[in-house]
Structure 1
Amino acid sequence: MEEKRKINLKSLVHEGRISYAKDYLQNAKLVLNNQFRFQHAYDMEPSPEIYQLNSWLKSPNGDPEWLYVLKRQEYLQDLLYSYLQTNEVKYLFEIKTLIFEWLKNNDMQDSIRYKTWRTIDTGIRLLNWSKPLSYLISKEIINSEEITQINDSVKRQAKYLRDNYIEKYDLSNWGVLITTGILTFSAEHPDIISSQIADWALKKLIQELKLQIDETGLQWEQSPLYFIEVFRSSLSVVASFKANGEPVPQDIIVVLKRMLQVCDYLVKPNGQLLQQGDTDSIKIDDLIATAKYLLDGQYYPDVYYDFLLISLADNAEVDFASQDLTTKKYYDSVISGNFFFKDTSKKDYWHIYNGNLGSGHGHAASGHIDLVINNEDIFLDPGRYTYVNSHERRNLKSGYSHNVVLVDNSFPTVPLNSWKFSTVVSNQRNEVQHFKKFDSVKCSYIDKKAKYIVTRYYIWIKAHEIMVVVDVVENTGKHLQSDNWIFSPMCKMKEITRSQIKISTEKNEYYLFHSLKKVEFEKQIISDRYNQLQDTFKLIISDKFENNNVSYTVIGKKDVIENVEHVNSVRNGKVDTSDIHNYGLVISLKGKKKITVDIQHQNTIKGNKLYFINNLPFYGNIGVKEGFQ
């Protein structure tokens, strides 16, 4: 029989069980001085600089996103947390001041009302008002006249959201942030927003989640950050409904449990969120722990919780379940084109992407890989930096800033501006297999305009933590193939030979072997968080070819891998140099048996179909065998 239990917000606050507590307190002190820095982990467009608030209509840094974040009023959560931690009512009075400042500058005058609003910001603001307003009322910080003013504004905001909802929001994080704001506020403060609008919002949210979340639990926009926004705001509805005795529709619970299932795979071994598309490197372990509590009744006495969600769920009755500690190393989302491997014991991780572009938050990254070995980032995605239409924005969205194959210095998916693309890759296909000794992911795509096909074979050799990449490019005529490899800023590179590069990190050294002829190192911009930029390095290896080319890149630890070489195939007792039909490479290990990898990309339809690499027989698309020392 399941045990029913409640967890108490004030207890968690005073036990130090709320994540980012220091950030809340520090930010609240800034806000008391009319200073604003938007650096919450869950801010969609953070800004590290501190600005004095002089105007609600003009951005101090020229980026309109700053004003959007200002008007969402997430800093009210900082003030509420600080009140609960210190019991100082000055924080509640500041909440009141800022709510009425928004009203004064955005809603009380007919000349500006609606003109300074956006639907997404309005939905988020209603969510951020929900719990702080309850404290203002219960602690008698606001009088009946002021409550009426706020309620009238809430009614206008909710009506504005319904009246300005457009069809495309059904397939956008905007839609979810609109409807969850209405529903969370309505659950916390019944009878203010009309039942017709609340009912509409609930039906819309169910529709949005069913459309946006695929059967594997991933959100279609191809951005873990916006996955998190949809997940967290939807959990706000679950929290507020449970706390206020409203039944949560099973349709919502089913989808959110699918999202929870994939959450762990979006987090790298170092606890940081995978950067894919428009995503920042943030920690979300508090969100996952809170989601497990709200959805599965799993309670962990030694973890930190998400303040927003726990405040909304304060004293909610939850069925506590036994803790499920079983995890799988793989998560294959064929429908979205995302493949994940996560070994928590070795702290190895990889993510391979070859799927639909998604929304404007998607990046040109077909065939891209992120690679972590022993908790050290090796290959990564350099992030987003800004939404301002600029060279940096377009570059970070392009194929030039991803671990992909370029043909004739171009990639088939080309950004047009901050949000649109002029061309998009087509006909992606993926195959994935997991065997005892290795895992393989095969990705291919077509550029219809340039009429070429790229296929990437990723092979992870488990016991030795070696990643093998075999690229096949098919394009009639003479062309140039270039492979990008973007490294973590913590990596230092040294060219040993033309085909061997040493990579040094804080803890380990690695060897990268490749078969292409030209080697270049370029500076690459990288952004861990919006509005923050640093430099790293990009390795570009390239070679000219005619009609087709097969090549390899292999990376592993220096104390494991000794050498890699391409070995000609033998068929019918003779050397067969048709690499596109059979391509073999031998990986020499230190003190261990050699590993032979064989790729048969195109079917052999004439003659003997059995190939040999160093006397080892191979037949089939992908083969991995241990040879002799």
Structure 2
Amino acid sequence: MQGDRQNPRHFWSIEDKEFIVSSCKKDWPNEINEVIQRADLACENTFIYTHRWDMERCETPVTFDKQIDWTYRLNGDFEWTVMLNRARYMSELGQAYWLTNNEKYAAGYIKLLNDWIAQNPLTEEEVTSSDKNQYNVKDTWRKLDSGIRIVNWLKGYSCIRQSSLWGEKLEKLFQEAVILHGYYLNIAFTPHDAQSNWGFLETNGLLQIALLYPELKESKEWLQTAINRMTKMADLQIFGDGMHNEQCSMYHHEVLNCLFESVLLMDRNNIQYPRSLKEKLSQMFTASLAFIKPNGHQPMLSDSDDTDIRDIMCHGAVLLHWGDLKTIAYPTLNYDGIWYFGKDGVEQYNSMETQVPLFTSHYLENSGYAIMRSDWSKDANYLLFDGGHMDLIRAHGHDDFLHIDLSAYGREFLIDSGRYTYMETADRQYFKESFQHNTLIVDGVSISSYKDSWTWEKTAKPVNSYWTTHPSYDYIQCGHNGYWKLEKPVMVLRQILFVKPDIWILIDTCDSDGKHVYEQHFHFAENVPVEIEADKGIVNTDINEGPNLKMIALTQCDIKQRKCQIARHYNQKSDSNKVIFKQTKEGFTKFVTILFPYQKLADQNLDVTEIDVKDSYGRTITPNLVTALEIKRQEKTDIILFSHQGPGSFQFAETHLSGEIILIKREEGKTEKAFIVKV
């Protein structure tokens, strides 16, 4: 047994054990069961990846009866190999040891440590000669995985080193392995890493090595190198709106977590670092707050899974003392938060007052995501719109321009289809192209051109973006140049007006000299049955109890239902339904669609009428130039005008107003309110 390394301070130490164990047992028994289950499997050389933040999940257990093959690929998927070598199970073996006081978990940690080190040596020559491969030496020594691995080793070590099984020989072996990881991570950093999530995952490992082993002769240099890299990467990778530049909610949170761990450890050990690091981290938490869904999950943007991010919100609430993050987090500090923050963090969280965020709807201007929501409750009406460019390195991005997600009254209706796999298969292309997103397709051509799993060509760019928000409405518009590549180019524009709290008007306009086939695609969450009344232009979800969604197509189109697949997690996919609205037309074409969620069948009645519009001279304006709607229910009437020719002066609905987008709200017995949404 080795003496405690109290200076410097890691996330947890032996003094925290009693409180951590008792608090986790009281508040998070299910999480404890999951940790112990995976730790039990690891003790038997059986591996499964079911943690919520396992980047590439796999629920199929794999057992090595004899020696572990650290290069094994399940079903040919290299992502299984890298998950094995990232070694989250080492951290969980340490936690299981503290939670149970069972020495078998210490023995399991030691066995796997010895096995990995013995089978995976690394020489200086191997490292220096791998520069042409971006310093990814071999399957078990990639820089990304090495950064993640050493962090997991260190977390497990903080618990296991208290065991009587841990002696001087093991301490020396472990320190040698730590030094080797530090040496490798210090060298294996390239300009591309500075622009990629890889850089953060690598550098978090280097920083923790340097900080926790100050006695090493290289530590001072490594620590400063890590801080410098973090600072540079934060400026390069994190937009001013707080979103990570890969435009992907999952990797946004992977980067956020690395920055969180590094900042937390530096604060805890009184290490000076640029103020900009915590400012960037704060911006990332703000972006997460903006796009979190009412159910507490992240939207499946690009290569993302359906992950509950309320644990992330807990961490931010404690670190930054933000009560608005607690509003949408767990009522008690999450399982990992107890380990990170200990008794002081739990007491701080319990005494923290929740605060309603300063914004409800929000626009992430640099990344192009607009989030419209009615309120901050779990039953809020929520729509996310993607009007942003492809991710900067063209790797994790999907061809999802103009995509929308929609949830209402506690139920998901329209969702992203997910990612499913990174293997170069038909599934990879299926989930990445435009056809599997809730967007507009022209002539059966994806908006950008898919080349392979990690490469796009003719990448579309956003045009004509505009956002505004008001207590009574939100409005977003964006187009793209993806269909300028056609022989007869098409200018596409999607406009969405949210008449709060529960009606969205979605208008797609397509301007072209040629004849084209236009399709709107809408993907529904699993187990959401769909009923089509084609003659009325109505699509209704058909759920017997609880909320439903009505879609009303006000332009004549063919409506068809198709099967599709949804992948909420890596290696998992299930069948669902999609609906396609289709027009074949020459010249200017538009789709006008009402999205109306309702809680009860009695609430679904909505009277929608297209109304005439005249110019200031009294001349009737054609529907190609303007769309005007009157939406009635009970005593309330909403009148909406969209001009397709820019701003103008319009006579309609017994009023005369000027602008490009106009909203009038009328309620029986009350004063009329008129809003110029866009001049």
TM-score (norm 2): 0.85
Match of 1:501 in 2: 539
Tell me if 1:126 matches 2:164: no
Shift in Å, 1:565: 3.7
Q: Is residue 569 from structure 1 mapped to residue 613 from structure 2 by the alignment?
A: yes
Residue type at the aligned position of 1:507: G
Note the 1:66-465 alignment, pairs <5 A: 66-107=80-121, 114-116=137-139, 117-192=141-216, 194-296=219-321, 302-307=331-336, 310-311=338-339, 313=341, 323=353, 325-327=355-357, 328-342=359-373, 343-345=375-377, 346-358=379-391, 359=393, 360-447=395-482, 448-450=484-486, 451-463=489-501, 465=502
- Tell me, yes or no, if structure 1 residue 481 matches structure 2 residue 505: no
Query: What is the CA distance between 1:311 and its match in structure 2?
Result: 3.6
Residue 145 of structure 1: how far off its partner (Å): 2.7
Q: CA separation in 2, counterparts of 1:319 and 1:183?
A: 28
Partners in 1 of 2:315 and 2:503 — Cα distance?
A: 35
- The change in CA–CA distance for 1:198 and 1:626 in structure 2 (over 3 A counts) is closer
How far the C-alpha of 1:126 sits from its partner, in A, is 1.2
2:132 corresponds in structure 1 to: none
Task: Report the equivalent of 1:553.
Answer: 593
Which residue of structure 1 aligns with residue 7 of structure 2?
A: none
Contact 2:508–2:592 under 8 Å retained in 1: yes
- The answer to whether the Cα contact below 8 Å between 1:347 and 1:374 also exists between their aligned partners in 2 is yes
* 2:651 paired residue number: 612
1:538 aligns with 2:578: yes
Quick one: structure 1 residues 139 and 554, their matched pair in 2 at CA, closer, same or farther if it must change by over 3 Å? same
Q: Distance in 2 between matches of 1:618 and 1:469?
A: 22
Q: What amino acid does structure 2 have at the position aligned with 1:584?
A: A
Aligned counterparts of 1:8 and 1:623: Cα–Cα separation in 2 = 59
* Range that drifts further, 209-218 or 10-19: 10-19
CA contact (8 A) 1:294 1:318 kept: no
Flag the 1:108–1:472 CA change in 2: closer, same or farther, 3 A: closer
Report what 1:593 is aligned to.
636
Residue 597 of structure 1 aligns with an amino acid whose one-letter code is I
CA positional deviation for 1:258: 1.3
Q: Letter of the aligned partner of 1:420 in structure 2?
A: T
Task: Give the superposition deviation at 1:288.
Answer: 1.4
Q: Is 1:29 the equivalent of 2:29?
A: no
The answer to whether the Cα contact below 8 Å between 2:204 and 2:259 also exists between their aligned partners in 1 is yes
Letter in 1 for 2:227: L
Distance verdict in 2 for CA 1:87–1:279, change over 3 Å: same
The one-letter code matched in structure 1 to 2:376 is T
Q: Tell me whether 80-89 or 310-319 shows the greater mean CA deviation.
A: 310-319
CA distance in 2, matches of 1:59, 1:402: 30
d(CA) in 1 for partners of 2:667, 2:281 = 50
Structure 2: unaligned runs, 5 residues or longer = 1-11, 128-136, 669-679
1:413-465 CA deviation, whole Å, 9 max, x = no partner?
122111111221124332111234221111121233123211111111114x0
Letter matched to residue 370 of structure 2: F
Shift in alpha-carbon separation, 1:399–1:9, aligned structure 2, 3 A: farther
Instruction: Give the CA RMSD over aligned residues.
Output: 2.6
Maintained 8 Å contact 2:518/2:582: yes
Name which of structure 1's ranges 502-511 and 541-550 shifts more when overlaid on structure 2. Answer: 502-511
Distance 2:666 2:341 in 1: 59
With over 3 angstroms needed to count, the CA separation of the structure-2 counterparts of 1:51 and 1:322, relative to structure 1, is closer
Task: Give, in angstroms, the shift of residue 173 of structure 1.
Answer: 0.5
Shift of the 316–67 alpha-carbon distance from structure 1 to 2, 3 Å rule, reads farther
Letter in 2 for 1:426: K
| 1:52-63 aligned within 5 A | 52-53=63-64, 54-63=68-77
Amino acid at match of 2:334: Y
- AA of the residue aligned to 1:106: N
Rounded Cα–Cα distance in structure 2 between residues aligned with 1:251 and 1:185: 22
SS at match of 2:525: coil
Q: Distance in 2 between matches of 1:495 and 1:592?
A: 28
**What SS class does the counterpart of residue 583 from structure 2 fall into?**
strand
> What's the CA shift for 1:174?
0.1
**Does residue 583 of structure 1 match 2:613?**
no
One-letter identity of the residue aligned with 1:65: E
How far off is 1:353 after superposition? 0.9
**Distance change (3 Å), C-alpha of 1:134 and 1:438:** closer
Confirm or deny: 8 A CA contact 1:337 1:353 kept in the other structure.
yes
Residue 621 of structure 1 aligns with which residue? 660
In the alignment, is the contact (CA less than 8 A) between 1:518 and 1:543 conserved in 2?
Answer: yes
Deviates more, 1:162-171 or 1:262-271: 262-271
The SS at the match of 2:572 is coil
Contact 1:486 1:537 in 2 (8 A): yes
Q: One-letter code of the match for 1:449?
A: K
Secondary structure of the structure 2 residue equivalent to 1:387: coil
Q: 2:58 aligns with which of 47, 59, 73?
A: 47
- Does the 8 A contact of 1:119 with 1:178 survive in 2? yes
| Alpha carbons 1:334, 1:430 under 8 Å: kept | no
Aligned residues: 616
Q: If the length of structure 1 is used for normalisation, what is the TM-score? A: 0.92
TM superposition shift of 1:314: 5.0
- Report deviation, 1:199: 1.6
CA deviations 1:266-295 (Å, max 9, x no partner) are 321112221111111111212211222123
CA distance in 1, matches of 2:546, 2:176: 59
Query: What's the offset of the Cα at 1:580?
Result: 3.9
1:458-488 Cα distance to aligned partner (Å, 9 max, x none): 111114x011101111111211211111111
Q: Distance in 2 between matches of 1:403 and 1:555?
A: 13
SS in 1 for 2:570: coil
Q: Counterpart amino acid of 1:55?
A: D
**1:276–1:383: 8 Å Cα contact kept in structure 2?**
yes
Contact 2:625 2:645 in 1 (8 A): yes
Identity of aligned residues (%): 23
